[in-house]
Structure 1
Amino acid sequence: MDSHKVVSQEEWLAAHRAHLAEEKALTHARDALSRKRRELPWVKVDKAYTFDTAQGPQTLADLFEGRSQLIVYHFMMGPDWEEGCPGCSFLSDHVDGALVHLAQRDVAYVAVSRAPLEKINAFKKRMGWTFRWVSSFGSDFNYDYHVSFTPEQRAQRKLFYNFATIDSDMDELPGLSVFYKDEAGDIYHTYSSYGRGGEPLIGTYTWLDLTPKGRDETHGMMEWMRHHDRYDTQPAHHGADGGCH
């Protein structure tokens, strides 16, 4: 690390008081943005989706498990993949501890991938996770929510992702979607987020942002982060674009 400015206690306190004012402004701005998010319009989900789960085939309504709110994490793991995306795995390492608290606030959580359930279960067991993870293989769900892409779309390198057309030939990309189910059983799509939109769910980054070196990344998480069972057995991968595959 390069040498850093060292000052008296009085100068340190003055600088930190000024920084605290900016942090409070950011907190208030985040609160305001969250209120606006809750005010966004919804769209009714009329299409039927079926998922392969440990309890057998289930509908989107079943995934709510009796609650009115559902968070779906679009986990990158395609039908021919042998393991899940390292970046999605990094985020998912932070999920299990939140589940009991989400349940108390009328929120269900589930990860969804196009990989067959047997591959999902094998990787989930390897990672030691307990959150629900189901397969959308054979369903249009991933395509309709713009996280999986057909060979034709990939060949054209024109993918609709993160509410815009991007130049990419990826088969899977990450995201999360939120749904609400009313007392009549009608389901509404209330929100989706893609790309770095899931970053606030990664607690490790929040911790790193407190430290002098910060995230210490040049090209994103993929230059250092790996599946948590590989840190001692495999050197860090230096990626070019911070993406996942």
Structure 2
Amino acid sequence: MTPRIVSREEWLQARLALLDREREATHLRDAVNAERRALPWVRVEEAYVFDTPQGTATLADLFDGRSQLVVQHFMLPPGGPICDGCAGAADMVDAARQHFEQADLSYAAVSRAPVDEIEAARRRLGWTFRWVSCGGNSFNHDYGTAFTPEQIAAGAVSYNYGTTAYAHTDLPGYSVFARGADGAVFHTYSTYSRGTELVFTPFALLDMVPKGRNEAEGTMSWLRLHDEYDPGSTKACCHGTAAAE
């Protein structure tokens, strides 16, 4: 990457032109967010029961007394592996939930792996948020993030509302639920594929810097579980100084 070096005055002109575009994008995002919030709701009729370290829990239990719930469909099938992309997003949750729980929002991750495998992953990565198993129910299948080998073999995977052909037994996504005053649970929104970037903080920061997402070797090629990074690598060093220096 070869930057174009200019005077401060020329830089300011370019920055102001970009600011107009950023404002357009912000206003469009505001409008899309409003449309998202205005989507109609669908009552959840299925009595989903999840396995947790404390026993079983219903979908309503995952609200923890609040009226809104975000579920991360976390890619951890029975026997693993842990999805590094799902884990990268989950790394942000414990810090963020100190705040969003005060705004009437609960969070839970849901995976098909059994509870003992989920708990081993949680201990390894140091997370404290609620993470439950849907291995005994069809939750992730019903909400479009898990597929049977038969579906994959038949080419019958309908991920991201049929817009994505990528096929795997488990794929990432987020679903939003609301709870009515009478205790009824409603599905209000789900997002998949690049829609999950909304909650991935590293992308928000990388998108502001010259190298961007730095994916020369492929999408998120640099991403690892946070305990797998090499502290001696040049990518992990401060101030762009190689460890050997």
TM-score after normalising by structure 2: 0.91
* 1:123 equivalent in structure 2: 121
Residues 37 and 63 of structure 1, relative CA distance in 2, 3 Å threshold: same
What is the SS of the residue equivalent to 2:128? coil
Residues 56-109 of structure 1 show CA distances to partners (whole Å, capped at 9, x for unaligned) of: 10100111111100000000000121x410111111111111111111111010
Amino acid at match of 2:95: G
* 1:239 equivalent in structure 2: none
* Equivalent residues, number: 232
8 Å Cα contact 1:154-1:169 kept in structure 2: yes
Deviation at residue 215 of structure 1 after TM alignment: 0.9
8 Å Cα contact 1:53-1:135 kept in structure 2: yes
Q: Which runs of 4+ in 1 moved over 6 A?
A: none
Mapped partners of 1:26, 1:211: distance in 2: 18
Deviation at residue 167 of structure 1 after TM alignment: 3.6
Residues 62 and 23 of structure 1, relative CA distance in 2, 3 Å threshold: same
* 2:8 equivalent in structure 1: 9
Mapped partners of 1:33, 1:184: distance in 2: 29
Residues 137 and 151 of structure 1, relative CA distance in 2, 3 Å threshold: same
* 1:29 equivalent in structure 2: 28
8 Å Cα contact 2:79-2:117 kept in structure 1: no
* 2:193 equivalent in structure 1: 195
Mapped partners of 1:98, 1:120: distance in 2: 21
Mapped partners of 2:3, 2:194: distance in 1: 30
Residues 86 and 63 of structure 1, relative CA distance in 2, 3 Å threshold: same
Unaligned stretches of 5+ in structure 1?
236-245
Mapped partners of 1:225, 1:234: distance in 2: 16
CA RMSD of aligned residues (A): 1.5
Unaligned stretches of 5+ in structure 2?
234-245
8 Å Cα contact 2:177-2:186 kept in structure 1: yes
Deviation at residue 155 of structure 1 after TM alignment: 1.2
Matches within 5 A, 1:16-95: 16-81=15-80, 83-95=81-93
Mapped partners of 1:165, 1:93: distance in 2: 28
What is the SS of the residue equivalent to 1:193? strand
Mapped partners of 2:142, 2:114: distance in 1: 18
TM-score after normalising by structure 1: 0.91
What is the SS of the residue equivalent to 2:198? helix
Mapped partners of 1:233, 1:31: distance in 2: 39
8 Å Cα contact 1:158-1:167 kept in structure 2: no
Query: Percent identity at matched positions?
Result: 50
Mapped partners of 1:138, 1:109: distance in 2: 20
